Amino acid sequence: MDPTTLKGRSLLTWLDYTAEEIRYFLDVSKQVKAESQRHEVHRRFEGKTLALLFEKRSTRTRCAFETAFGEEGGHPVFLSTADIQLGAKESIEDTARVLGRMFSAIQFRGFKQATVETLARYSGVPVYNGLTDAFHPTQVLADIQTLEEQGGSAAGKKLCFVGDGRNNVARSLMVICAKLGLHFTLITPPALNPDPELTARCTGAAQVSGAHLRVTQDTAEVEGAHAVYTDVWASMGEEAKKEERLRLLRPYQVNQALMDKTGCKDSIFLHCLPAIKGEEVTADVIDGPQSRAWDQAENRKHTIKALLLATLGC
Ligand code: CP
Ligand code: NVA
């Protein structure tokens, strides 16, 4: 793969990328993590600027972008909706045009996928989706790195997501697994199945990569999983649905009994965080020996640095 083809690209969803391109980001991330462990100092973002637009709150994503970019001489600028117009008094198109004149790249976290797409269309600079209602692509890159740190390539491994099957993390995992050849089982009540159009697109990608994709309501299907993954039952912006979700998803809590159903003592537990202990996961699992949630959080920084390096051509 010629890495110069990544220069100038946006990351809105992994649907727009090939398996080889995703693998390139993972390889660079592994390298930058090794550099960080050797305490190497680089200045690869000197002279560059990054706008960080946030409609929703964030700990990991904001800190990963700010530290990855800033520690190498880049200038990140945090802009919440309390600071800028962004669709309030000024259209998204016009905001994009202005930011594109001042910044080397833009990160957006918010509600609509259409907003991040509009920013990419009108800014003329790389735009990164730091989470929308539809997708969370930078998260799942870190998740794959974490899975591969257990040994071997992710292709051919089995990852099960247990919980809200139509949320941004579940949808993004389905896409990246289908692209990379990971067997992905989505365990969710039928009321929370992902939309059929996305499932069909992922099924097409899975046919190319050799991934097996399954959507089921049966938690016994975690059997043989290398990794069991969950996320909050009500995502940001869905607070009004909390009671309904608790009712639907209680049987899908990841507890030790569910982890034991994998039948593999080496299977790991993953969570994008933040977690609500006692709801989607019990404290003994997320704080226990099978959990890799804290490695995942650290890997957000390395994978985001890899994304910035490749797309800014640094
Ligand atoms: N996982 C994740 O995106 O965390 P934040 O919401 O804290 O950024
Ligand atoms: N699905 C969660 C992910 C948080 C990182 C949310 O959107 O709130």
Question: Is 235 a pocket residue for ligand 1 (Cβ < 6 Å)?
Answer: no
Q: How far is the CA of 3 from the centre of ligand 2 (A)?
A: 30
Q: How far is the CA of 44 from the centre of ligand 2 (A)?
A: 30
CATH superfamily assigned to domain 3-135+300-311: Aspartate/ornithine carbamoyltransferase (3.40.50.1370)
**Mean pLDDT, the chain, integer:** 97
pLDDT score of 26 more than 90:
yes
**Interacting residues of 164 by C-beta distance below 8 A, sequence separation 6+:** 170, 188, 192, 231, 232, 233, 234, 235, 245, 249
- Which amino acid residue places its CA nearest to atom 6 of ligand 1? 58
Nearest CA to ligand 2 atom 1: 235
**Residue 244, pLDDT score:** 97
Using alpha carbons, list the distances in angstroms from residue 1 to 4, 19, 23, 24: 9, 10, 10, 8
Summarised one tens digit per residue, pLDDT across range 87-124 is 888 999 999 999 999 999 999 999 999 999 999 999 99
Whether the full predicted model's pTM is greater than 0.85, yes or no, is yes
141 pLDDT tier (thresholds 50, 70, 90): very high
27 Cα distance to chain centroid: 17
Q: Ligand 1, from 54, 270, 273, 294: best to mutate by most atoms within 8 Å of Cβ?
A: 273
Q: 3-class SS at 271?
A: strand
Structure-token match 């660079």, residue found? 28
Please give the Cα distance from 156 to 158 (Å, whole number).
7
**Ligand 2 mean position, distance from CA 47 (Å):** 32
Q: How far apart are CA 262 and CA 217, in angstroms?
A: 16
Segment 202-211, tens digit of pLDDT: 999 999 999 9
Q: Is the pLDDT of residue 1 over 90?
A: no
Q: How far does the centroid of ligand 1 lie from the alpha carbon of residue 169, in Å?
A: 11
Cα of 241 vs its chain's centroid, Å = 23
- Count, residues in the chain: 314
pLDDT of residue 234: 98
CATH number for the domain running over 151-291: 3.40.50.1370
CATH topology agreement for domains 3-135+300-311 and 151-291: yes
Beta bridge partners of 187: 162, 216
**Backbone φ and ψ of 127, nearest 5°:** -120, 135
Which atom number of ligand 1 is nearest to the Cα of residue 297? 1
Pocket lining: 272 vs ligand 1, CB cutoff 6 Å: yes
Cα(268)–Cα(46) distance, rounded to whole angstroms? 38
Measured from the alpha carbon of residue 60, the closest ligand is 1
Sorted by where each begins, the domain ranges of the chain are 3-135+300-311, 151-291
pLDDT at residue 88 in the model: 83
Longest CA span, the chain: 56
Which residues are the active-site residues? 109, 136, 139, 231, 272, 300
Q: Residue 115: CB within 6 Å of ligand 2? A: no
Q: Is the CB of 58 under 6 A from ligand 1?
A: yes
